Chains A and B, each alone.
Chain A
C-alpha cells in the first residue's frame, strides 16, 4: 500500500486529505510541523510527501532541502495562489510539483499518481517512446511525427528529450536551461521561450489548446502528453 505523508498545520486540511486519500486506498500519516515532516520522511519512508509551504516552524523550502539530503521521495507542494516565488524556490530546491490551494481532489490525486509513477525505481527511460502521433527513438535521436521524420536542431531535440523523459513533471525555467544549455545557464528565459515556441510549431501543438507542452507562467513548462505503448 502506498504511504503518503501529509504536512500541514491546519487540522481541517489534514482531516480532509486523510479522508480522501484513504478512500483512494492510500495509507496516510499526517504531521503539522516541518521538524516532524523531516523526521517522518526519514523514519516511515513514505512514497509521497504533500507539503504545505506555510509551516509554523520551518520554511517549506528548508524542509525540502533537508529531506532531499537523504531521499528522492516525490514531494508535492501545496501553496496559496500568490506565492509564486515560493513555488519556484520550492521547485528549484527539489520539489516535484505544486498544487494551488484551494485545489480539487481529483487534480491532487492525478499529480500524486504521476509523481509516484516517475519515482518508480529501476526503470530507465524506454529507448523508444510514443505520444499519440509522436514517436521518439532516444538511442538513434530520431523523432517521427505521423510517421514522417521530424527535423529538429540539436537544441530542439535536447529540449524535447528533457520534456518527454519527464512526463507530467513541472520543469522550471532554471532546470530546463541547465539541462539543455548547461550549468552556467539559469536566467535566460528568452532563449528557452524561443525554442519552446519553435518546438511547439514543429510538433503542431497549439499553445491555446495544448496537447503536449503546457506553459506555467513565471515558473516553467510541463509535458502533459500520456505515453502510449511504443511496442504496439
Chain B
C-alpha cells in the first residue's frame, strides 16, 4: 500500500502533452463534422464547436479546454461564414462567440480540475486512513515495547517509499532504538524528522529517509508521519502497561504456585513418613504380638513408602536444580533405543499390569545426550502412563528418526489429556483436572520438559488415534543450545 505519491494539480492551467493533443483534436473533429453542414445550419456548427470545447475541458482539463476554445473561436467564423476560408475576425458576433467558448472552457476546465483533485484527495485520505488503521492493528498486538518499535520502523518503509527508518524512544528511563532499511545499498536522499509525542512531551523521534533521487517530503507526508508517530507513541505506552500487568500477573501466579507447591510437597512428604513411622512404631511395640504375615505386610509398606519418599525427594532436588539453572546435561554419544531398553528392563516389574510394547529400530544414529537424565525422563513418562492407563491396556514406546532428530513416543490407552491442558501439564505441581486424586507429585512432566529443553529438544502431548494419550519428545542429533 502506497500512501505517498505525486498527483497533478489539475485546478490550474497546465499544458501537458495529453491535454494539448486533446485540445487540438476535438476542434478538428468538430470542424470536420461542421464543415458540410455549416452554410445551411450555422447554429449547429456553434453547438458542435461548443461541444468540442466542453469535451476537451472534461477529458483534458483546463489547458486542453483553453486550447480547444481558442481554436474553436478562430476556426468557427471561417467555417460558418466564409466558405472561401479567408481569415476574418472583426465581427462582433465572432468576438462574442470566442469569449463564450473561452468562458465555457474556463468554467468546465476549472470544475473538472476541482472534481478530479477532490477525487484524488479523497482517495489519498482513504489510503491514509487505511494505512493508519493497519498500523494501529499492527502495533496493538500485545507486544513488548521493543517489538512495537521494531514493527513501527519496519511498517513505514514501503508506504512512504523510504530507504531507511530510525526510531528512538525513551521509555521509563530505558532507551529504545529501532532501525529498518530496504534491501540494497543506496546513498541517502531527502530526510525528515518527526517527534514522538506523548501529550506535549517528546519521548523520542522518528527519522525517515528516502533514497538518493527520491521525492522530497511533502506537507502531506509530514502530516501522515506525525499521525503514525502518535499511534506508535500510544502503542508503546500500552505495551509498557501490558508488560507491567504481565509481571504483576506472573507474580500472582508465582505466589499461587508457591502456595500450591508448599501444600503439595508438605502432603507428599508427610504421607509416606506417616506410614513409615506408624509401621515402625507398631513393630517396636512390645505389647503387640504380630504374626509373621502381619509383620511382613508392615515391612512391605515401610519399604514401598521409603521408595516413594526417595523418588519424591529426587524429583524435588531436580526441581531445585532446574530453578537454580543447574540442570546441565553431561552429554555423551548414546543410542536412544538402548536407553529405552534399559528403562523398560527396569520398569517391567512395575508395569506388570499393563502390556508393554516397544518399536525400537536398532539402526538409528547416535545422539549426544545425558543418558542418566534421559533415563529419568523415560522413567517418569512410563510411570505416568502406568498410573493413568487402565490395567490390562497397552503402553507402547516407539523411537523414530525424524528430520535429524530422534523422536520418542509413549502412547497409553488412558483417559487422555484435554486439549486446553496439554501445555499446562508440564508446569510443576500441575495435576490434570480429570485425575486430581491420582498419586504423583505433579513434578514428573515438569522435570522431563526441563531435561528435554536442556538438550535443545521439545516435548508435547498428543491424543492417541484411539483415544488415550501420547507423550512425545524429540532431541536433535546435533547439540543445540536450548
- B314 beta carbon closer than 8 Å to chain A: yes
A160-B362 Cα distance, complex, nearest whole Å: 20
Say which one of B41-49, B258-266, B341-349 lies at the interface with A: B341-349
Partner of A217, one of B342, B344, B362: B342
Question: Would you call B375 an interface residue if the criterion is a C-beta within 8 Å of the partner chain's C-beta atoms?
Answer: yes
Would you call B358 an interface residue if the criterion is a C-beta within 8 Å of the partner chain's C-beta atoms?
A: yes
B333 touching A189, Cβ below 8 Å:
yes
**Would you call B218 an interface residue if the criterion is a C-beta within 8 Å of the partner chain's C-beta atoms?**
no
**Whole-angstrom CA separation of A209 from B345 in the bound complex:** 5
A79 to chain B, nearest CB (A): 12
* Cβ contacts under 8 Å, B344 to chain A: 208
Interface residues of A in 134-171 (CB under 8 A from B): none
Task: Report chain B residues within 8 Å CB of A214.
Answer: 345
Residues in A whose Cβ lies below 8 Å from that of B348: 208-209
Partner of B306, one of A85, A102, A215: A102
* Distance, CA A84 to CA B373, complexed state (A): 10
Interface check B370, CB cutoff 8 A: yes
Q: How far apart are A199's CB and chain B's nearest CB, in angstroms?
A: 13
Does B342 lie within 8 Å of A207, measured CB to CB?
Answer: yes
Task: Give Cα distance in the complex from A81 to B358, angstroms.
Answer: 27
Chain B residues near A12 (CB-CB < 8 A) = none
Number of interface residues of B (CB under 8 A): 25
Q: Chain A residues near B366: list those with CB within 8 A.
A: 190, 193
- CB-CB contacts below 8 Å: A171-220 with B: 189-190, 193, 197, 207-210, 214-218
Contacting pair B310 A102 (CB below 8 A) = yes
A210 and chain B: residue at smallest CB distance: B345
Assess the A217–B371 pair: CB atoms within 8 A.
Answer: yes
CB-CB under 8 A from A218, the residues of chain B are 330, 332, 334, 370-372
Return the contact of A84 from the options B306, B335, B338, B372 (Cβ within 8 A).
B372
CA distance A123 to B336 in the complex (A): 40
Residue from A81, A82, A208, A216 with most neighbouring chain B CB atoms (10 Å): A208
Contact with B along A95-127 (1 / 0, CB 8 A): 000000010100000000000000000000000
> Is the CB–CB distance between B370 and A190 below 8 Å?
no
Tell me which of B330, B338, B362 contacts A85 (CB under 8 A).
B330
Task: Flag whether B317 is at the interface (Cβ < 8 A).
Answer: yes
Please state if A217 and B345 are interface contacts (CB–CB under 8 Å): no
Does B339 have its Cβ within 8 Å of any Cβ on chain A? yes
Least Cβ–Cβ distance between B317 and chain A, in angstroms: 7
Query: What's the minimum C-beta distance from B456 to chain A, rounded to whole angstroms?
Result: 19
Establish whether residues A81 and B332, one from each chain, have CB atoms under 8 Å apart when the complex forms: no
Evaluate contact between A207 and B330: CB separation under 8 angstroms.
no
B307-331, CB < 8 A from A: 310, 314, 317, 330
Q: A193-B335, A208-B348 are in contact. Are A82 and B372 (CB under 8 A)?
A: yes
A-B pairs with beta carbons under 8 Å apart, 22 shown: A82-B317, A84-B330, A84-B372, A102-B306, A102-B310, A189-B333, A190-B366, A193-B338, A193-B366, A207-B338, A207-B341, A207-B342, A207-B345, A208-B345, A209-B348, A210-B345, A216-B342, A217-B334, A217-B339, A218-B330, A218-B370, A218-B371
Interface, chain A (partner B; CB < 8 A): 81-82, 84-85, 102, 104, 189-190, 193, 197, 207-210, 214-218
Contacts A82-B372, A209-B348, A215-B342 known; list 19 others, CB within 8 Å: A85-B330, A102-B306, A104-B303, A189-B332, A189-B334, A190-B366, A193-B334, A193-B335, A193-B338, A207-B338, A207-B345, A208-B344, A208-B358, A209-B345, A210-B345, A217-B338, A217-B342, A217-B372, A218-B372
